[in-house]
């Protein structure tokens, strides 16, 4: 279906036109035009929901680099549908929100261009079937994320955060690329579907495990899993709509997407199961623990996002056990974990999006997001408060919000681990639910912090930058829609379950899809008080106690492991890399042209002269030489004399004239050598060049004698002479060995092939027109360069950038 | 640069026309005889440069009110445009077409898209060379 | 003929490299101009010299000279012109801004 390919490119195409619309129609906020795109795409995708739910998939292939196995293949199935809807749906809401969030003074054109770039790249990630194409889009999301985090680039923290996120995610991306290449080496295909199809043959291969680990590194860095999570809190320097969109709803879920997408390939491996679920559960725990200590609301949300991503990740890890178990009663249990993961993925996007937007509103209205300065905003901002309550309670796992449903399913999935008999899991199986439960208690605590420390308690107007008031209605639309979804999903979860999650389950478990029902009915009340419900109850009780006593136990963050700082490690590595590379660079990049040219010529002499010497390629054959006329002897002598004289003349004018002599002599040679076009061109160019030299000399000083020391001169002379000798020897050897026939006979068909009788001209204009085109471009660039060099004088600008 | 030399100016008026004609002749003969876009363009631009040298810049700019940067840009656009045009007709990038046509005055004439390409090259060359010369001489 | 021209190319390259390695900006630019002359001749020699008629099909000759090097040289001539022009203006601007045309002094050393 062409439209899926179109869906990827529409945002890119739109991004091209945004700047001109922005300039052309200054009265209307550009955001309204941008908003059209995700809304259209969302509707386009949504129209296919029922077809996808019926089990259809759409695929379309455009050959890109067929010789390398790279096809631009887009693939729409249940899994990519969920992500596609999230990207366009949350995208629409975020753009709507940003119209009110960003002031018109900001460079909105940049902002929306970056945002559209991101949207297109992200759609590319989830719709691509070819791993190379996926990788390209994957890196493009990192780049657009970098640009968006650094949107307020005059702030030092923004630049730091942008760089950090780029370094970490791109490093992971490269690891993933290596993993993809290994998969290609094993299966000979870049297509994910074909890799899935050949999964059984892979497991024994030596490269299988490295490929698995490398792909996981890519996924973990992008999804901010421990220990790569450190970039996400710093990424919060981005404008809040960006944080809501990229760093909670979509981009950070790209890693999860990769894990889900590659589960059919790698899922049967114990290593995959352990790596994904253990890293996930630890990230869940670590993220929630650290979220509690944050005082900045956005940092708190960042850690909470890390933690929730860990939750989803661990569920996918558990779910992969089903592939190992094959078709059995138990595997149904494990597929439930994956189902819960997908469900929580959707839920997280709704409630976390709403929470981010809520924090943005608070930040914008009162000028701070520090919970220590906030308080008592409930009566001043009732709508915002409502959104905060819905979002936070859903995150904490309370009814009647969708987070409750997925949290219950999460507990249940963790409890099934106790029954896991394979992978020699042993007592570890019991640890998983315990860690999950502890992490949930902290999740509950920080959810309460968001609501109660911001909106209840004592209002401190004197500590706020601005007087608090309710946000404008337009700003509340987007978070309200999300909050509404949070509640709606709680009451009608099975609509999502049947139409979105079931087809996605089929793409994650292609081998099990036909054999059993993968999508259970989601129920809020299971008819009895079961263990998950008791666990939730325990979370609430202990959570309330801990929240009440927060001030007494906060000090634990001062001890032990909390002081180990991954950020310091990152900073240390970064500054080490900077220092050592600048040392290395300064060692040979002296800033002296002479040195650089010496490197180049020395390398030339060693590489070319050396290989000539070792291969013994000298063979001179002068028998084919053309006869020499007297006038040619004279001309050669004139040229040699002119160029040697050039070294000794006192005046630069003489030197230029000697250069002219060289040029015109060459033109004469061109005449002798039957090249009329060249002769003509050379004469005109030489004239113009000499004119140019003279025009510039009008301003330049007379040249002085070289002041270099004698050894330097000798060294230069040595290099010069050897370069001349090597060139001569090579040229003579080439003439001595005709290893293959000239291809020029082909061009003698010029009249039939290109309709011209001047062979040189047809080569330029037809056979090798690409060369000519680029040459014209080079000439043009040189012209523009000259123009700007002369006309544009550098102005001392005022710097508004923090160092 | 102001040179006031009546003889030079008078001779130039004549010579420039000869050079210009020569340049155009070279441009059109390029397909079958020596010549073509480059040489034609270079000769044309040398005529213009001569004009600028002999008369002062203001006078010439009044006579030829053309922004040569734009000439160069349009030339590059032509060159790239013929390539893209070929793609639009389903051929590969930059392929040229030619054919023979009966025209009323000229008889059987060969028409080729390469002329557009060469025209682009010539315009780019003229524009660039004159831009370079003008930038330097204007910056006193 | 080819051998003679090749030796001439060697001389041109030697002079060009020596000029490129010197400290004065003008000499460097002049060196690059001479080097491009040498390269044009080199390309020409590689195709063989005086082996046939002018590469115009209108000549109805039995054999034509190799046209490919000629096309390459034509491109190279124009590019080297562009490069020379750019370098010249760069040198000129540098001199206007700093009052220096010596590469060694431009690095911040007054003299050795």
Q: What is the 3-state secondary structure (H, E, C) of A634-671?
A: HHHHHHHHHHHHCCCCCCHHHHHHHHHHHHHHHHHHHH
pLDDT interval class at A352 (50, 70, 90)? very high
Q: How far apart are CA A335 and CA A320, in angstroms?
A: 8
Say yes or no: C68 contacts chain B, CB-CB below 8 A. no
**Is pLDDT larger for residue A691 or for residue A527?**
A691
Q: How far apart are CA A418 and CA A432, in angstroms?
A: 9
**Is pLDDT larger for residue B6 or for residue B94?**
B6
Percent of chain A having pLDDT more than 90? 27
Output the pLDDT for position A797.
56
Q: How far apart are CA B34 and CA A745, in angstroms?
A: 19
pLDDT at A463 over 80: no
pLDDT at A545 over 90: no
Output the pLDDT for position A554.
76
Output the pLDDT for position C69.
87
Q: How far apart are CA B16 and CA B48, in angstroms?
A: 8
**Is pLDDT larger for residue A169 or for residue A427?**
A169
Q: Residues 11-30, chain B: which have Cβ within 8 Å of A?
A: 26, 30
Torsion of Cα atoms, A240 then A242 then A246 then A249, to 10°: 50
Comparing CB atoms, the residue among A590, A659, A781 nearest residue C33 is A659
- Which H or E run contains A66? none
DSSP string, A315-330: HHHHHTHHHHH-SSHH
Output the pLDDT for position C100.
75
Per-residue model confidence as pLDDT tens digits over A238-260? 899 998 898 888 889 999 999 99
Mean pLDDT of all residues in A313-339: 78
User: Would the CB atoms of A703 and C44 count as touching at under 8 Å?
Assistant: no
Comparing CB atoms, the residue among B39, B98, B127 nearest residue A681 is B39
Per-residue model confidence as pLDDT tens digits over A165-209? 999 999 999 999 999 999 998 888 888 888 888 877 777 778 888
For residue C111, tell me if it sits in a domain: no
CATH of the domain at C72: 1.10.287.3510
**Is pLDDT larger for residue A321 or for residue A514?**
A321
Complex ipTM = 0.92
pLDDT at B24 over 80: yes
Average pLDDT, chain A: 85
**Is pLDDT larger for residue A687 or for residue A516?**
A687
Preceding peptide of A408 cis, ω within 30°: no
Say yes or no: A783 contacts chain B, CB-CB below 8 A. yes
**Is pLDDT larger for residue A331 or for residue C19?**
C19
> How far A578 CA lies from chain C's nearest CA (Å)?
23
Output the pLDDT for position B103.
65
pLDDT at A573 over 70: yes
Count of structural domains within chain A: 1
Per-residue model confidence as pLDDT tens digits over A720-774? 999 999 999 888 888 877 777 777 777 777 777 777 778 888 888 878 888 888 8
> How far A682 CA lies from chain B's nearest CA (Å)?
9
Mean pLDDT of all residues in A218-224: 92
Say yes or no: A749 contacts chain B, CB-CB below 8 A. no
Provide CB contacts within 8 A for A328, sequence distance 6+. none
Comparing CB atoms, the residue among B34, B128, B136 nearest residue C89 is B136
pLDDT at A802 over 60: no
User: Would the CB atoms of C49 and A778 count as touching at under 8 Å?
Assistant: no
**Chains within contact range of chain A (3+ C-beta pairs < 8 Å):** B, C
Comparing CB atoms, the residue among A696, A754, A786 nearest residue B96 is A754
How far apart, in Å, are the Cα atoms of B61 and each of A736, B10, B49, B54, B65? 56, 18, 12, 13, 5
For residue C102, tell me if it sits in a domain: yes
Mean pLDDT of all residues in A359-383: 85
> How far B53 CA lies from chain A's nearest CA (Å)?
10
pLDDT interval class at A494 (50, 70, 90)? confident
Comparing CB atoms, the residue among B46, B96, B139 nearest residue A790 is B139
User: Would the CB atoms of C89 and B128 count as touching at under 8 Å?
Assistant: no
Say yes or no: A801 contacts chain B, CB-CB below 8 A. no
Q: Is A226 helix (H, G, I), strand (E, B) or coil?
A: coil
Output the pLDDT for position A126.
92
User: Would the CB atoms of A758 and B128 count as touching at under 8 Å?
Assistant: no
Strand extents, DSSP E, A183-307 = none
Output the pLDDT for position A83.
92
User: Would the CB atoms of B31 and A758 count as touching at under 8 Å?
Assistant: yes
Tell me the chain A residues in contact with residue B69 when contact means C-beta distances shorter than 8 Å: 783-784, 787
For residue A619, tell me if it sits in a domain: yes
Per-residue model confidence as pLDDT tens digits over B78-88? 888 887 777 77
- Among residues A686, A779, A791, the alpha carbon closest in space to that of B71 is found at A779
Q: Is A774 helix (H, G, I), strand (E, B) or coil?
A: helix
Helix, strand, coil percent values for chain A (each to nearest 5): 75, 5, 25
> How far C56 CA lies from chain B's nearest CA (Å)?
7
Output the pLDDT for position A169.
93
Output the pLDDT for position A513.
63
pLDDT at B4 over 70: no
Per-residue model confidence as pLDDT tens digits over A33-53? 889 999 999 998 888 888 888
Comparing CB atoms, the residue among A765, A776, A787 nearest residue B135 is A787
Q: How far apart are CA A135 and CA A128, in angstroms?
A: 9
User: Would the CB atoms of B131 and A786 count as touching at under 8 Å?
Assistant: yes
Say yes or no: A737 contacts chain B, CB-CB below 8 A. no
Say yes or no: B75 contacts chain A, CB-CB below 8 A. yes
- Among residues A277, A287, A283, the alpha carbon closest in space to that of A225 is found at A283
Output the pLDDT for position B1.
47
Tell me the chain C residues in contact with residue B136 when contact means C-beta distances shorter than 8 Å: 89, 92
User: What backbone torsions phi and psi does residue B65 show, to the nearest 5 degrees?
Assistant: -80, 65
Provide CB contacts within 8 A for B114, sequence distance 6+. A754, A755, A756, A762, A765, A766, B31, B96, B98
For residue A674, tell me if it sits in a domain: yes
Q: Is A310 helix (H, G, I), strand (E, B) or coil?
A: helix
pLDDT interval class at A691 (50, 70, 90)? confident
For residue A243, tell me if it sits in a domain: no
Percent of chain C having pLDDT more than 90? 27
User: Would the CB atoms of B38 and C78 count as touching at under 8 Å?
Assistant: yes
CATH of the domain at A653: 1.20.120.1200
Domain span holding position C85 = 2-53+64-106
pLDDT at A93 over 90: yes
pLDDT at A433 over 90: no
Output the pLDDT for position C18.
92
Lowest mean pLDDT among A439-443, A789-793, B124-128, C108-112: C108-112
Output the pLDDT for position A367.
83
CA-based nearest residue in chain C for residue A750: C57
CA-based nearest residue in chain A for residue B114: A765
Count of structural domains within chain C: 1
CA end-to-end span of chain A: 50
Output the pLDDT for position A139.
94
Q: Is the pTM of this model over 0.80?
A: no
For residue C59, tell me if it sits in a domain: no
Say yes or no: A528 contacts chain B, CB-CB below 8 A. no
Q: Which residue in this structure is represented by tokens 């974990």?
A: A337
For residue C9, tell me if it sits in a domain: yes
Lowest mean pLDDT among A297-311, A416-430, A734-748, C44-58: A416-430
pLDDT interval class at C112 (50, 70, 90)? very low
pLDDT interval class at A328 (50, 70, 90)? low
Per-residue model confidence as pLDDT tens digits over B101-120? 666 666 666 667 778 888 88
Tell me the chain B residues in contact with residue A779 when contact means C-beta distances shorter than 8 Å: 124-125, 128
Comparing CB atoms, the residue among A680, A688, A696 nearest residue B129 is A688
Output the pLDDT for position A576.
93
């Amino acid at each position: 279906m062409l439209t899926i390919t179109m869906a990827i490119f529409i945002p890119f195409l739109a991004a091209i036109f945004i700047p001109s619309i922005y300039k052309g129609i200054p009265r209307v906020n550009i955001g309204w035009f941008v908003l059209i795109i995700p809304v259209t795409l969302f509707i386009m995708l949504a129209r296919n929901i029922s077809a996808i739910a019926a089990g259809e998939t759409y695929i379309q292939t455009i050959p890109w680099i067929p010789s390398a196995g790279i096809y631009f293949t887009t693939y729409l199935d249940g899994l990519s549908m969920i992500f596609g809807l999230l990207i366009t749906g949350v995208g629409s809401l975020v753009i709507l929100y940003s119209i009110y969030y960003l002031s018109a003074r900001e460079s909105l054109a940049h902002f929306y261009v970056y945002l559209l770039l991101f949207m297109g790249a992200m759609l590319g990630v989830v719709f691509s079937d070819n791993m190379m194409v996926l990788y390209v889009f994957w890196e493009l999301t990192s780049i657009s994320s970098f640009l968006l985090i650094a949107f307020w680039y005059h702030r030092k923290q923004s630049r730091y955060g942008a760089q950090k996120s780029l370094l970490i995610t791109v490093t992971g991306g490269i690891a993933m690329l290596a993993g993809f290449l290994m998969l290609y080496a094993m299966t000979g295909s870049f297509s994910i579907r074909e890799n899935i199809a050949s999964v059984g043959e892979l497991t024994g291969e030596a490269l299988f495990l490295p490929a698995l680990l490398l792909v996981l590194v890519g996924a973990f860095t992008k999804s901010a899993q421990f220990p790569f999570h450190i970039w996400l809190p710093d990424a919060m320097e981005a404008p809040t709509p960006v944080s809501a969109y990229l760093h909670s709803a979509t981009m950070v879920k790209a890693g999860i997407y990769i894990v889900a997408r590659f589960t059919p390939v790698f899922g049967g491996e114990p290593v995959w199961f352990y790596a994904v679920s253990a890293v996930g559960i630890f990230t869940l725990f670590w993220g929630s623990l650290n979220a509690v200590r944050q005082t900045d609301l956005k940092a708190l949300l960042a850690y909470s996002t890390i933690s929730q991503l860990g939750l989803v990740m661990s569920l996918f890890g558990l779910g992969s056990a089903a592939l190992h178990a094959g078709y059995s009663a138990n595997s149904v249990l494990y597929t439930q974990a994956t189902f819960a993961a997908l469900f929580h993925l959707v839920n997280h996007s709704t409630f976390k999006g709403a929470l981010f937007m809520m924090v943005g509103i608070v930040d914008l209205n009162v000028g701070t997001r520090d919970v220590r300065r906030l308080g008592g905003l409930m009566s001043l901002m009732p709508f915002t408060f409502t959104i905060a309550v819905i979002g936070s309670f859903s995150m904490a796992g309370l009814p009647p919000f969708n987070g409750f449903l997925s949290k219950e399913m999460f507990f249940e999935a963790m409890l099934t681990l106790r029954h896991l008999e394979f992978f020699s899991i042993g007592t570890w199986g019991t640890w998983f639910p315990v860690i999950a439960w502890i992490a949930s208690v902290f999740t509950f605590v920080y959810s309460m912090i968001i609501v109660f420390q911001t909106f209840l308690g004592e209002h401190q107007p004197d500590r706020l930058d601005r007087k608090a008031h309710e946000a404008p209605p337009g700003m509340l639309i987007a978070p309200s829609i999300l909050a509404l979804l949070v509640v709606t999903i709680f009451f009608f979860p099975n609509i999502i379950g049947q139409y979105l999650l079931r087809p996605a389950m089929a793409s994650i478990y292609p081998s099990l899809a036909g054999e059993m029902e993968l999508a259970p009915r989601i129920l809020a009340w299971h008819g009895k008080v079961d263990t998950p419900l008791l666990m939730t109850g325990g979370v609430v009780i202990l959570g309330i106690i801990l929240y009440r006593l927060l001030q007494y136990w906060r000090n634990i963050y001062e001890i032990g492991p909390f002081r180990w700082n991954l950020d310091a490690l990152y900073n240390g590595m970064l500054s080490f890399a900077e220092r050592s590379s600048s040392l290395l660079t300064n060692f040979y990049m002296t800033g002296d042209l002479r040195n650089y040219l010496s490197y180049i010529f020395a390398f030339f002499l060693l590489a070319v002269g050396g290989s000539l010497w070792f291969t013994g390629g000298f063979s001179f054959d002068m028998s084919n030489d053309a006869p020499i006329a007297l006038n040619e002897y004279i001309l050669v002598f004139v040229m040699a004399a002119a160029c040697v004289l050039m070294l000794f003349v006192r005046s630069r004018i003489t030197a230029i004239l000697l250069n002219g002599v060289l040029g015109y002599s060459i033109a004469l040679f061109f005449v002798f050598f039957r090249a009329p076009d060249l002769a003509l061109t050379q004469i005109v160019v030489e004239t113009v060049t000499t004119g140019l030299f003279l025009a510039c000399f009008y301003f330049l000083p007379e040249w002085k004698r070289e002041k270099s020391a004698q050894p330097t001169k000798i060294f230069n002379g040595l290099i010069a002479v050897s370069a001349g000798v090597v060139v001569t020897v090579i040229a003579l050897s080439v003439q001595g060995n005709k290893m293959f026939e000239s291809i020029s006979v082909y061009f003698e068909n010029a009249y039939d092939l290109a309709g011209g009788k001047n062979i040189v001209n047809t080569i330029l204009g037809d056979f090798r027109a690409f060369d000519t085109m680029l040459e014209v471009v080079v000439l043009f660039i040189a012209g523009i360069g000259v123009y700007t060099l002369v006309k544009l004088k550098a102005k001392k600008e005022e710097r508004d950038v923090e160092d | 640069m102001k040179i006031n030399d009546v003889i030079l100016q008078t001779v130039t008026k004549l010579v420039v026309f000869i050079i210009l004609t020569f340049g155009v002749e070279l441009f059109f003969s390029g397909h079958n005889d020596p010549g073509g876009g480059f040489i034609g363009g270079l000769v044309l631009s040398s005529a213009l440069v001569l004009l600028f040298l002999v008369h002062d810049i203001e006078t010439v700019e009044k006579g030829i009110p053309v922004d040569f940067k734009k000439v160069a840009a349009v030339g590059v656009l032509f060159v790239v445009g013929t390539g893209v045009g070929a793609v639009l007709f389903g051929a590969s990038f930059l392929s040229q077409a030619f054919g023979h046509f009966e025209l009323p005055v000229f008889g059987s004439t060969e028409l080729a898209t390469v002329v557009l390409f060469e025209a682009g090259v010539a315009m780019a060359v003229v524009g660039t060379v004159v831009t370079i010369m003008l930038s330097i001489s204007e910056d006193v | 003929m080819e051998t003679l021209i090749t030796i001439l190319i060697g001389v041109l390259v030697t002079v060009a490299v020596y000029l490129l390695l010197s400290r004065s900006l003008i000499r460097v630019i002049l060196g690059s101009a001479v080097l491009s002359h040498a390269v044009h001749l080199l390309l020409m020699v590689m195709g063989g010299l005086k082996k046939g008629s002018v590469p115009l099909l209108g000549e109805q000759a039995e054999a034509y000279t190799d046209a490919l090097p000629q096309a390459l040289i034509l491109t190279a001539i124009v590019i080297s012109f562009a490069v020379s022009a750019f370098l010249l203006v760069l040198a000129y601007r540098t001199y206007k801004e700093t009052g220096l045309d010596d590469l060694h002094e431009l690095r911040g050393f007054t003299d050795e």
